[in-house]
Structure 1
Amino acid sequence: MSRVAAFVNVNRSEAVELATELIQWIESSGHICVLIGDSASAVNREDLAIGESEIDESIDLAVALGGDGSILYMVREVSDFGVPVMGINLGRMGYLTEVEPTLAQLRMQEFFEGKHTIEERMRLEVLIDGEESPLRALNEVVIEKNDTGRTVRLALDINDDFFMSYATDGLIVATPTGSTAYSLSARGPIIDPTHKALLLTPVAPHSLFDRSVVLSPDDNLKIEVLPGSNASIALDGHVVSQLEVGQTLSCTAAEKPARLVSFGSNNFHRVLKEKFGLSDR
């Protein structure tokens, strides 16, 4: 018997409908299902609701029904406990959500039977000056300007050695998984998501050196806000804090990766061809 935790994008009616069907199937198969966030009320199963503080190692599988944003949420909630995450694609891009809705029950049955693999994805660990506990992200951390029409000035140290300063709209530190997210729109390179690296990409920099830099996953980055303007910090698309002049942010690879469930059907190169409309010849 397995314990399954599910998160549903309640703003997508098709996700709510599929979740209702899956819950019935999970329970009829002899497994336990619990629901995180607003998912329980959306499917009228408040008896299955658990709080985020109740998530722990007792969960055997975490399922996200929605788009990549849903799986980013689930990864954030369960990855510190080593729980594998399965994404069911009810969104648009689908870089992270491998399972199509029509195959949801089949793939879950294959998971219970051990017919799957676990793909480990590097995460970032971020410590903000003045905070005691680090934050973690699967895609990226972004330090960006607060004021429209002005740049933010940032100083970057790599392993306690000064590297350079930026006058820029923002600075992205991404994982290989995040190389197809915000960093890509800022002309950063695409990196196979199973690699381990820190990808540094400036956003509209006022500098002759405007290139992305791919760094070792063992590097420790420290970014300081220089006089002129404050900055905001966003992790995986959500603003989490502010940085005032003189404050710093430290970033390195997280000790525990995200663990994504794979069935060998979502080859990264094939996904790229589909998303960018690349022809076979």
Structure 2
Amino acid sequence: MKIGIIANKRYSKQISPFFTKFLEWLRANKVDFCVEAEFADVAKYPFGISLLEILDVADFLIILGGDGTILRAARLMKDRQIPMLGIRFGRLGFLAELSGQTYEKELKQILDGQYSIDERMMLEARINDSDDPLFALNDAALTRAQSSKLITMEVYINQIYMNTFRSDGMIIATPTGSTAYSLSCGGPIVTPDMNAFIISPICPHMLSNRPTVVSGDSEIVLRFKELSDKCMMSMDGQEDIPLNAGHVITIRRAPQKVKLVRAVNSDFFSVVRNKLKWTT
């Protein structure tokens, strides 16, 4: 089994001291690995290869960083079904399973085959039925680019008119994304095994405009009824696409899923309790 290692340069100060010891640990455990060139250069590791090469040869990915690094890898993977394991150096880390401080025991168990695979749905967004779809694991967020004016947007579910929203924008989230941007807009927490979308208006003008959960088999169409200024669509908060009044956004469930590696004793609600500081 070949392990591909992808790391976030943003956390290079935290990861670089860890990185050398981590590679020594992998060698001691006879693990075959390759390292993404972009981070290898920062860490002064001389044998890096491109991310696309890693995705072609790796059987298993270890992501060093935070959830954002996992989101980036998930979008670039497209139809490749490579299991991913995150070792976090970021903040909350809902997706990154292990800590950079205490990874050894759990990672050894995982490499010995003691783990489960958590399959997560992704969403696919198209602008004006483009042949070049955009993908997200967490969410697609349509927001104002600069102006303080509200956006007026019609939403259709399976060609049935849902509502016209006047708001700062709209978030279409997957169950994985229900603990991300959508949560800050009052959206519900949805367990990641569900087949669903969460439609969450951002600061709606009408207080009765509440987040809504629809089937993951739905086709969601968003049309701008009034748009005096430019806005943008952000995929997982990382890839921004400018929009104008003539654009129609169609969102569906993506054909591919993301495979996240989970330790044997890991469960969704333990993660939520820990990250959101729920009391017991």
Residue 96 of structure 1 and its aligned partner are, at CA, apart by: 0.8
Note the residue ranges of structure 2 that are not aligned, 5 or more in a row. none
Residues 246 and 162 of structure 1: CA distance in aligned 2, closer, same or farther (over 3 Å): farther
By how many angstroms is 1:45 displaced?
1.7
Equivalence for 1:159: 158
Secondary structure class of the residue paired with 2:256: coil
Alignment-derived partner of residue 67 in structure 1: 66
User: Hey, what's the Cα distance between the residues in 2 that align with 1:36 and 1:192?
Assistant: 32
Q: Which residue of 2 aligns with 1:265?
A: 265
Which residue does 1:198 correspond to in 2? 197
Q: Deviation string for 1:104-145 (max 9, x for gaps)?
A: 343333233211110011111111226421111111000111
Contact 1:226 1:246 in 2 (8 A): no
Tell me if structure 1 keeps the 8 A contact 2:60–2:83. Answer: yes
AA in 2 matched with 1:9: N
Q: Which position in structure 2 is the counterpart of 1:237?
A: 237
- Between stretches 61-70 and 105-114, larger displacement belongs to 105-114
Q: Which residue of 1 aligns with 2:44?
A: 44
Alignment partners' CA distance in 2, 1:138 and 1:75: 7
| Aligned residue number for residue 279 of structure 1 | 279
SS of residue in 2 equivalent to 1:107: helix
Do 2:122 and 2:174's aligned partners in 1 also have CA atoms closer than 8 Å? yes
CA–CA distance in 2 between the matches of 1:174 and 1:3? 33
C-alpha distance after superposition, 1:213-265 (max 9, x if no partner): 10001000111122333320001112421111121111111111110000133
Q: Which letter maps to 1:132?
A: D
Distance change in 2, residues 1:18/1:183 (3 Å)? same
How do 1:18-167 and structure 2 match up within 5 A?
A: 18-36=18-36, 38-50=38-50, 52-78=51-77, 80-129=79-128, 131-167=130-166
SS at match of 1:123: strand
Give TM-score, length-normalised by structure 2. 0.92
**Structure 2: which amino acid aligns with 1:126?**
A
In 2, Cα distance between the equivalents of 1:167 and 1:213?
A: 16
**Is the Cα contact below 8 Å between 1:8 and 1:19 reproduced in 2?**
no
How far apart, in 2, do the equivalents of 1:46 and 1:56 lie? Answer: 19
SS at match of 1:118: strand
Give the distance between the partners of 1:228 and 1:188, measured in 2 at CA.
25
The answer as to whether partners of 1:123 and 1:137 remain within 8 angstroms in 2 is yes
Percent pairwise identity: 28
Measured after TM superposition, the shift of residue 148 of structure 1 is 2.8
- Equivalent AA in structure 2 for residue 152 of structure 1: I
Residue 207 of structure 1 aligns to a residue in which SS?
coil
TM-score normalised per structure 1: 0.91
Q: CA deviation at 1:102?
A: 3.5
Matched, 1:4 2:3: yes
- Which amino acid counterpart does residue 174 of structure 2 have in structure 1? T
Mapped partners of 1:110, 1:127: distance in 2? 41
How far, CA to CA, are the matches of 1:27 and 1:224 in structure 2? Answer: 54
The match for 2:179 is: 180
**Structure 1 pair 198–163 and aligned structure 2 pair: CA distance change class (3 A):** same
- Closer, same or farther in 2 for the Cα pair 1:239/1:9, shift >3 Å? closer
Deviations 1:51-75, CA, capped at 9 Å, x for gaps = x332445311111111111221222
Contact 2:83 2:261 in 1 (8 A): yes
Letter of the structure 2 residue corresponding to residue 7 of structure 1: I
CA contact (8 A) 1:62 1:78 kept: no
**Helix, strand or coil: the match of 2:57?**
coil
Q: Call closer, same or farther: CA 1:77–1:22 in 2, change over 3 Å.
A: farther
Once structures 1 and 2 are overlaid, which stretch shifts more, 134-143 or 221-230?
A: 221-230
Q: Which runs of 5+ in 1 are unaligned?
A: none
Task: Give the secondary-structure state (helix, strand or coil) at the position aligned to 2:232.
Answer: strand
| Counterpart Cα distance in 2 of 1:254 and 1:146 | 26
1:249 matched to which residue of 2?
A: 249
Letter in 2 for 1:144: T
1:270 shift after superposition: 1.8
Distance 1:159 1:37 in 2: 43
